[in-house]
Amino acid sequence: MNNDLNTYLNTYLNKGRPLVYCPGCTHENITKALDKTFAKLNFEADKTVIVTDIGCSGLFDTFFNVHALHGIHGRALTYASGLKLANPDLNVIVTMGDGGLGIGGAHVLASCRRNIDITLIVLNNFNFGMTGGQYSFTTPTDAVVGSEFLNRAEIPLDICAIAKSAGASYITRCSGLDKNLDEKMAKAIEHKGFSIVETLGMCTGRYTKRNKLTPKVIDQTIEKLEQYSGMIEENQRPEYGKLYRELAREKTSFPEPVTLEKQFDFKNYQRQEVVILGSAGMRIVTAGDIVCYAGMNAGMNVSIKNDYNITVLRGQSVSEILIDPQKIGYTGIESPTIVLALSDEGVQRRQYIFADLSQNTFVLKEKSVSIPETKAKVIEIDFKKLKIKKQDWALASLGVLAKNEKALNKDMLESAVKLRFNEKVSKIAMETINKIL
């Protein structure tokens, strides 16, 4: 690679890498125009990157003495976006054919929507040149291409119209042979935001062999289509990177981990396996967290596994908690020491555990909940009668545990509640718990 900046003061083209396009291919004109564009903009080579993907448009990066990234079909805009976000000073130019446009459609839409400061030069020559002239997203229905009859059953898309509806802030469509192409590309690149230049051109190796497509036909085609010559007024807005950095700058507080000091000595603490069986909306996960905090308050190791539906407002919510003076290995529940049965849905989810519960298991059951037969001693509580709302049953049941010194005591619970919630919420939570204590 020739890195000597002085050797290409007038051209960014790499003298050691002559153009290799088929004779008459429009890509050649576009390559030369892009070189003039860079000169016109007085770009510094080391602040410029050409990003390409697969196909003849993917040859572009090899002809220039600028930074280059050549990647996978249709994905050029993804690399380009990563580069631009990582280094906002870079001039990022992407070349992509009509093939890349199709396979990478999601990335074109995302780039338009984001308005990231990248220029996409589309080299639309109406077919996949490199693989045999197959039809692409832009092949006319009546064209004769290398896909037998398939293109006759589909319609081509207008990338400029799509880009506009997707939020592109700058769109130009012109012939790849346009005598002002360098100027048009320069303006697009200068635009602060996502810009597209769709060039229409001839693939002489494939497409024009069987289709009448001349420079004049291209001009006529463009005239018949909606005109795009730059700024899209209704899509003007701040550039993505700039806006992103402004928004991110407001986020100054790094979230430190939850770290709890041992505060209490719970003499002869035995390993606890706690299962809370409830439903969505009953704050089961939060109650599980509080049990863990309480355990950590006593210097114990803890582990919690939650099981709830992806539709988070419906269905069961089950927490399985281990509290152990020893390091916790297996995180599953083997022999529960405590079961809080707070909803039928939750019980049904784990109904298989009840048959094997030992006599020593502490089962707390809300009056309205049905549980399968069990050897364990079952304590029933009527939270409704105590005027405790369903959403507080899990929290209140921790009060029952504290009262019975099961897994935690009053001090541990109160301390855990204070650590888990802010002052206001913990006061309300303690009011609920105190109805039990």
Partner 1 sequence: MALSFMEGNEALARGAIAAGCNFFAGYPITPATTIFNNMLKMLPPKNGICIQGEDEIASMGYCIGASMAGKKALTATSGPGISLYSEQISFAIGSEIPLVIADVQRLGPSTGSATRGADSDIQFLRWGNTGGVPVIVLVPTNAMDCYVLAVHAFNYAEEFRCPVFIASNKEIGMNKESFDMDSITLPPIVDRTLYTGNSYLPFKAEDDKAPAFLPIGGKTLVRQTSSTHGPNGYITIDPDTIEKNQERLRDKIHKACNRITLFEEDIKENSDTLIISYGVTSRAVTDAVKILGNRGKSVSTLTLKTLWPVPEELLKQKAKTFKNIVVIEMNLGQYVNEIQRVLTDKKVKFYGQMNGTLISPAKIMEVIENE
Alpha-carbon span 204 to 103, nearest angstrom = 23
Helices (H), 299-409: 344-349, 393-403
Site string for partner 1, 15-44 (x = CB under 8 A): --x---------------------------
Nearer to partner 1, 54 or 402 (CB): 54
Task: Give the DSSP per-residue string, 400-428.
Answer: HHHHTTSS--HHHHHHHHHHHS-HHHHHH
> Of 165-173, 297-305, 362-370, 426-434, which part binds partner 1 (CB under 8 A)?
297-305
Q: Which of 19, 39, 69, 378 binds partner 1 (CB under 8 A)?
A: 69
> Of 57-65, 150-158, 353-361, 380-388, which part binds partner 1 (CB under 8 A)?
57-65
Binding positions for partner 1, 183-212, rule CB under 8 A: none
Minimum CB distance to partner 1, residue 65 (Å): 6
Nearer to partner 1, 258 or 379 (CB): 258
| Spatial CB neighbours of 176, under 8 Å, sequence gap ≥ 6 | 26, 27, 29, 30, 123, 199, 200, 201, 202, 218
Which CA distances in Å does 293 have to 265, 296, 323, 411?
A: 14, 5, 10, 12
Nearer to partner 1, 3 or 216 (CB): 3
Nearer to partner 1, 356 or 382 (CB): 356
Q: Which of 19, 39, 41, 72 binds partner 1 (CB under 8 A)?
A: 72
Minimum CB distance to partner 1, residue 20 (Å): 11
Residue 46: helix, strand or coil by DSSP? helix
Nearer to partner 1, 194 or 293 (CB): 293
By CB under 8 A, tell whether 310 contacts partner 1: yes
Nearer to partner 1, 294 or 369 (CB): 294
Nearer to partner 1, 296 or 436 (CB): 296
Task: Give the DSSP per-residue string, 138-167.
Answer: T--TT---TTTTGGGGS----HHHHHHHTT
**Amino acid letter for position 422:** N
Binding positions for partner 1, 90-149, rule CB under 8 A: 90, 106-107, 109-110
Residue 396: helix, strand or coil by DSSP? helix
Q: List the one residue out of 390, 123, 357 whose CA is nearest residue 281.
A: 390
Nearer to partner 1, 62 or 368 (CB): 62
Q: List the one residue out of 66, 132, 65, 73 whose CA is nearest residue 98.
A: 73
Minimum CB distance to partner 1, residue 421 (Å): 15
Minimum CB distance to partner 1, residue 67 (Å): 4
Q: Return the number of other C-beta atoms located less than 10 Å from residue 221's C-beta.
A: 15
Minimum CB distance to partner 1, residue 46 (Å): 5
Binding positions for partner 1, 323-342, rule CB under 8 A: 328-332, 334
Minimum CB distance to partner 1, residue 130 (Å): 13
End-to-end CA distance of the chain: 78
Alpha-carbon span 402 to 421, nearest angstrom = 18
> Of 142-150, 190-198, 206-214, 304-312, which part binds partner 1 (CB under 8 A)?
304-312
Which CA distances in Å does 271 have to 282, 300, 327, 361, 408?
A: 26, 9, 11, 12, 12
Q: Which of 87, 227, 348, 434 binds partner 1 (CB under 8 A)?
A: 87
Nearer to partner 1, 83 or 231 (CB): 83
